[in-house]
Structure 1
Amino acid sequence: MVALELPTQLLFLLLALVLLISIFRRHGRHHRLPPSPVGLPIIGHFHLLGPLLHRSFRDLSDRLGPLFSIHLGSVPCIVASSPELASEFLKTNEVSFAARVDSLAVSRLTYGYSMAFAPFNSYWKFIRKLTMNDLLSSRNVNSFASLRSRELRRFLRLLAEKSERNEAANVSAELQKLSFSVIAQMVLGSDGTANAGMDRGRAEEARTVVREVTRIFGELNLSDFFWVLKRLDFQGYGKRIEDIFRRYDGLIEAILGEREELRRNRNKEEEKEGVVKCRNLMDILLDHLEDQKDNETVEFTRLHVKGLIMDIFTAGTDTTSSSIDWTLSELINNPTVLKKARDEIDRVVGKTRLVNESDASNLPYIQAMVKETLRLHPVVPVVSRKCIKECKIGKYIIPENAMLFINSWAITRDPKYWENPLEFQPERFLQGHEGSNSTSSSIDVKGQHFELFPFGSGRRMCPGMNLALQTLPTFIAAIIQCFDFKVVGDGGDGHALSMEEGPGLASPRAHELLCVPVPRLSPLSAILEP
């Protein structure tokens, strides 16, 4: 009997010893992390997070303060929710947090060569310089103005056709098509059609894939935090990722193959035409792929080309359409603001021509309206980074490989920094207007003010900021200049439109905006002519 009991007692003693050692080691490693809520064994704090991370983080911050820590599995995570802390992490200690958080979805769907999520290394520096100089520089953004104007008019004519038939338009879906078309033609080149040279079936499949990618990029995958689950595919993410990858790879391979064939057959004399044409990103990337002289120290392959194109599509499509969608929704719910915006357009532009990009600098209320949308509905509500070097923040030590989440959504709705933060008030950004103050009216959105930084800050800020700030005011102004909207379903019959958010990287509206367009200008057809 004794011989049987002794091993059992020893086993319990050993288990207790292992548990104590684990606790002491954990305490020794992380006792200088910010305060943390009570977690569960193994999963940590996953059970406290909902599908909308920014809201879950805000609720925890209300309990724990603007700086706290959680564990996702064994990964320590820091969550910050104040402008001062955002500045401390992204400016004062920028070098320690110069990397973005990667995931299985990002790695697979960008072939491991994402610019947005790449480590801060020589490849990232090379590809960012190439992108900024050859696609997203101010000069190149301006050179694509006629493309944007053409696609905007195409979108407005579609709404006009819906109006003639008294038919509801899915404005959210059409805005996605509009922003996809602009990005696709900048990346792939333009043949004068909305599909950038793709047939309708291929273009629709490409749009669908991009929407699915932005959605899955915004979701938490348990396998990213528990290595033992990677092969089990506990949530089905792996299957979804592989399905999206297969469809995207087939599309991009077909497009690349056609472009390479065109380049091989292109007459050299045609390349010497006197007319200067806008260079699209694909040709720029293929030039670098064929000529390695410019990037001898950086590997650049066909997979890099495909990964970067996916990067540009996901970063530029849903973010733009979602921002316009939110603005229109806010204007429908705030008719007084809508009237002020239209009065400014009518005064500056008139009613006989369509607003264009050169008018934007003379439309301060429209500019303020865009800022207010980016405040209430930031393009990326949670800015994520990875600690690449142990860092001290106040009395806390942030360990290497910890994940950092800055809740910009909570910051831009905090009454400590914003008066009436839940109200849509563009006036707060206009000096001398009622509702503005000296602090908010001087804030820009270019990463210098941490009360509002929708495009990030520092070296990892969004390279497409110039394009967004050029596009959003004009597109929004043109839409409200031409149309009123009679809401169908949710928000109809005079009820307030639902402002519920859906999951995804760009935090889109949970419900699509369905409206019957009602023309404001006459004759609208003449104004919308190319």
Structure 2
Amino acid sequence: MILQLVLALLAVFVLYTKFWYKSAPSRSSTTNYKRRNVAPVAGGAKPILGHLQMLMGGELPHHVLGKLADKYGPAFMIQIGPHPELVVSSWELAKECFTTNDKYFTNRPSNMAMKIMTYDQASVGFAPYGPLWVEMRKVSKSNLLTSQRIQMQNQVRASEVGAFFNELYQLCSTSNDTTCTVTDGAIGHEVGQGSVMVEMNKWFEELTLNVVTRMVSGKQNYGTKARRGNNEAKHFKKVIDDAAQFMGNLVISDIFPSLGWLDYMLGHVGAMKKTAKELDSIFGSWVDEHQQKRKRVSGNTEKGEQDFIDLTLSMMDEIQLHGTDPETFIKSICVGVILGGSDTTSVALTWVLSLLLNNRDILKKAQDELDQHVGKDRNVEDSDINNLVYLGAIVKESMRLYQVGPLIELDMTETSSVTNYKGTPLQVLLTPRLGSKLYGQ
């Protein structure tokens, strides 16, 4: 078996080496690029892998691309396996891609996890541009993201945030008691002398998962219940964590599609399908619960707190499903919202807090602004945000320097040209937001 695998990999290596030397740009073709004013190709590519090894080293990928941008300019080409990709690193070109030619950059490149986890890319965050994506976006916006819905969900966010701060306060206040022991269900652990160590990244992760899950399904304290041993919540948390990990990692077929059989052999596809089945079961049970609730109240869902599933079921007759059944339509949106809305928010909050703790002068200015515009007798409300200019700048700068996803990957739907780089063969757009010099400041 091992000998067969070695021989198979050797054959693949020879095949791709032959392909590389046929397809790799030669010196003459590079000269032609310059003559035709096409985006330059970065040096350092290797056979088969292209520039992949440069992005998989110890340095962060967006730092690597920032250095290449310093050398090759605001737009240049790299090769990721067999895929040619354009790297854009200036705001002028980003504006042209996302504003002037936005219709050409509406799709994201698919990968194995995306296809399996999101009903063959039928989720709002991952579906290709088309009638189904437009309908999903419209429903998601109207039932989750409009100003009216956000205002109506204020109580949900305030309730979850208040519960977490209360638990954090109790944890810190009781730590001064020498007889206090912090249980396994707490969000921190004692480190001696009345101090408590709190893992804020886990705290933010739990908080954001609670808020998003409650807005989507009405389920309360799912993250907290998982930590405290509730079996249903623990299972949900594990499935979400597994799905997020799969979505964030690449497998062999994502780089070399013809080697997809290796993903089956190594068990990647089987593990993804198992997690996708569990996700489908969880979201399916949520939809069933809401349908049964609607039957009990004879379709009157105006009583009590209305979540995303309630609202979507109530307007199902008005939705254009485009070949998708109603349950799958709702489940696919749930997948995108929960996977895309919880982890990214918690990572951003963790970066903001860590930067504030390491820059105490900035923290003091933010506290002074809060004291001036909010005071110490009440919590911050949505209406205060416009007055908190300095705090807003902190959040924006943190997200600019330490983005949740520093590289944005988009597939082009049609051939296009970006500024003077006419005829550049674009498949995927990668955008580092800053040059390498700024990362060290």
Q: Which TM-score band applies after superposition, normalised by the shorter structure? A: 0.7 to 0.9
The 3-state SS of whatever aligns with 1:392 is: coil
Pairwise CA RMSD of aligned residues? Answer: 3.1
Q: Give the TM-score normalised by structure 2.
A: 0.79
The 1-side partners of 2:403 and 2:102 are apart by 21
Q: Equivalences for 1:47-62 in 2 at 5 Å?
A: 47-50=53-56, 52-62=60-70
The 2-side partners of 1:284 and 1:318 are apart by 24
Q: Give a deviation string over 1:347-372, Cα, whole Å, max 9, x none.
A: 22222222222322222222222122
Q: Equivalences for 1:212-291 in 2 at 5 Å?
A: 212-233=242-263, 237-264=268-295, 266-268=296-298, 271=300, 277-287=304-314, 291=317
Q: Judging changes above 3 Å, is the alpha-carbon distance between structure 1 residues 88 and 34 closer, same or farther for their aligned structure 2 residues?
A: farther
1:422 Cα shift? Answer: 5.0
8 Å contact from structure 1 (residues 78, 403) kept in 2: yes
Q: Which runs of 5+ in 2 are unaligned?
A: 1-14, 176-194
Q: Judging changes above 3 Å, is the alpha-carbon distance between structure 1 residues 245 and 140 closer, same or farther for their aligned structure 2 residues?
A: same
The 2-side partners of 1:28 and 1:122 are apart by 40
Q: Judging changes above 3 Å, is the alpha-carbon distance between structure 1 residues 168 and 272 closer, same or farther for their aligned structure 2 residues?
A: closer
Over 6 Å off, 4+ runs: 18-21, 24-30, 196-199
User: Is 1:93 aligned to residue 101 of structure 2?
Assistant: yes
Q: Equivalences for 1:402-421 in 2 at 5 Å?
A: 402-408=427-433, 410=434, 415=438
Please identify, of 336-345 and 36-45, the stretch whose mean Cα deviation from structure 2 is larger.
Answer: 36-45
Q: Judging changes above 3 Å, is the alpha-carbon distance between structure 1 residues 121 and 398 closer, same or farther for their aligned structure 2 residues?
A: farther
Identify which of 173, 183, 203 aligns with 1:174.
Answer: 203
Identify which of 213, 216, 225 aligns with 1:184.
Answer: 213
8 Å contact from structure 2 (residues 86, 428) kept in 1: yes
The 2-side partners of 1:391 and 1:205 are apart by 46
The 3-state SS of whatever aligns with 1:79 is: strand
1:242 Cα shift? Answer: 2.7
8 Å contact from structure 2 (residues 294, 300) kept in 1: no
Aligned to 1:210: 240
Aligned to 1:376: 401
User: Is 1:195 aligned to residue 222 of structure 2?
Assistant: yes
8 Å contact from structure 2 (residues 80, 255) kept in 1: yes
Q: Judging changes above 3 Å, is the alpha-carbon distance between structure 1 residues 103 and 298 closer, same or farther for their aligned structure 2 residues?
A: same
User: Is 1:130 aligned to residue 161 of structure 2?
Assistant: no
The 2-side partners of 1:295 and 1:339 are apart by 52
Aligned to 1:80: 88
The 1-side partners of 2:213 and 2:363 are apart by 31
Higher helix fraction (1 or 2): 2
8 Å contact from structure 1 (residues 34, 78) kept in 2: no
Q: Equivalences for 1:99-114 in 2 at 5 Å?
A: 99-112=107-120, 113-114=122-123
Letter in 1 for 2:101: N
The 1-side partners of 2:258 and 2:214 are apart by 42
1:229 Cα shift? Answer: 1.4
User: Is 1:331 aligned to residue 356 of structure 2?
Assistant: yes
Identify which of 146, 150, 155 aligns with 1:141.
Answer: 150
Q: Which runs of 5+ in 1 are unaligned?
A: 1-14, 416-420, 424-530
Q: Give the TM-score normalised by structure 1.
A: 0.67
Letter in 1 for 2:111: S
User: Is 1:353 aligned to residue 383 of structure 2?
Assistant: no
> Percent identity among equivalent residues?
28
Q: Judging changes above 3 Å, is the alpha-carbon distance between structure 1 residues 119 and 241 closer, same or farther for their aligned structure 2 residues?
A: same
1:198 Cα shift? Answer: 8.0
Letter in 1 for 2:351: W
* Count of matched residue pairs: 391
1:125 Cα shift? Answer: 0.9
The 2-side partners of 1:19 and 1:336 are apart by 56
Letter in 1 for 2:421: K
Q: Judging changes above 3 Å, is the alpha-carbon distance between structure 1 residues 53 and 220 closer, same or farther for their aligned structure 2 residues?
A: farther
Identify which of 108, 116, 119 aligns with 2:125.
Answer: 116
Aligned to 1:363: 388
The 2-side partners of 1:137 and 1:108 are apart by 30
8 Å contact from structure 2 (residues 287, 327) kept in 1: no
Q: Give a deviation string over 1:496-515, Cα, whole Å, max 9, x none.
A: xxxxxxxxxxxxxxxxxxxx
The 2-side partners of 1:23 and 1:187 are apart by 48
Q: Equivalences for 1:380-529 in 2 at 5 Å?
A: 380-393=405-418, 394-399=420-425, 402-408=427-433, 410=434, 415=438, 422=440
Q: Judging changes above 3 Å, is the alpha-carbon distance between structure 1 residues 105 and 262 closer, same or farther for their aligned structure 2 residues?
A: same
Q: Give a deviation string over 1:165-213, Cα, whole Å, max 9, x none.
A: 24322211111111011100110025xx423998833223323333333
The 3-state SS of whatever aligns with 2:221 is: coil
1:345 Cα shift? Answer: 1.6
8 Å contact from structure 2 (residues 85, 429) kept in 1: yes
The 2-side partners of 1:340 and 1:23 are apart by 56
Letter in 1 for 2:246: I
Letter in 2 for 1:361: N
Identify which of 42, 45, 49 aligns with 1:43.
Answer: 49
The 1-side partners of 2:208 and 2:222 are apart by 11
Letter in 2 for 1:130: V
1:240 Cα shift? Answer: 4.0
8 Å contact from structure 1 (residues 184, 196) kept in 2: no
Q: Give a deviation string over 1:439-484, Cα, whole Å, max 9, x none.
A: xxxxxxxxxxxxxxxxxxxxxxxxxxxxxxxxxxxxxxxxxxxxxx
The 3-state SS of whatever aligns with 1:157 is: helix
The 2-side partners of 1:391 and 1:152 are apart by 46
1:288 Cα shift? Answer: 5.1
The 2-side partners of 1:372 and 1:254 are apart by 41
Q: Give a deviation string over 1:265-318, Cα, whole Å, max 9, x none.
A: x122x8276x5x5531122333455x3x53165644432322211100012101
Letter in 2 for 1:247: E
